[in-house]
Amino acid sequence: MTEQQARQQLIDIASSLFQRGYATGSAGNMSLLLDDNTILATPTGSCLGRLQPNDLSKLTLSGEFISGKKPSKEVKFHLGLYNNNPKCKAVVHLHSLYLTALSCLQDLNHQNAIKPFTPYVVMRMGNVPVIPYYKPGDIRIATDLASLALNHQAFLLANHGAVTIGENLEEATNNYEELEETAKLIFILKDQKINYLTEDEINELRK
């Protein structure tokens, strides 16, 4: 994929997420890794539904700004993920309704915020750890995500939203959408007796 094609893919997927209500206003950010090991990221204060290819920020993996508009302050944690997981080629971070609501709940299991009751999160992403609350842009978000990056593909940011990664932008986006739909089911089923998967069933899926 050429850089121009990657730019177009990023703004097309960002627009689709915005149009379908996964992102609102200027919240959220996305990025992808190019073949030359630079990254394209959505710029600070930008609406995911109204981006142009040349708006995108281009940076090195060390965070050096190359071109485009000023990157989001949260690009630091994107870099932490890229630099600590060689399979990470794209990052999606949104403040979608149900995942943000889930991130605000007390007493979440910080090793895995979503107790498995469907096979899909287990198969696509495995456990979903919770990063403690820090102010948006705080370097500790990047530090904590970096420490977990190698063994996880999805993360809940306490009182903030969620992050997913993938081996390409489509995979990272599909992971986010699956995670959001699972969070929606959690709230739909909250007063019901849920048939959680057994440990044997979970282990079978992980194989």
Instruction: Spell out the domains of the chain, with CATH numbers in brackets.
Output: 3-206 (3.40.225.10)
- Tokens 């689709």, residue located: 16
The torsion angle over the Cα atoms of residues 93, 128, 176 and 39, rounded to 10 degrees, is: 40
CA 34 from chain centre, in angstroms, equals 18
Residue in 74, 171, 178, 180 annotated catalytic? 74
Express each pLDDT in 100-127 by its tens digit: 999 999 999 999 999 999 999 999 999 9
Q: Is 74 annotated in the active site?
A: yes
- pLDDT, the chain, mean: 96
Low-confidence ranges of the chain (pLDDT < 70): none
Residue in 22, 82, 98, 120 annotated catalytic? 120
pTM over 0.85: yes
- What's the rounded Cα separation, in Å, for the pair 111 and 127? 7
Q: Is 120 annotated in the active site?
A: yes
- What's the rounded Cα separation, in Å, for the pair 62 and 83? 9
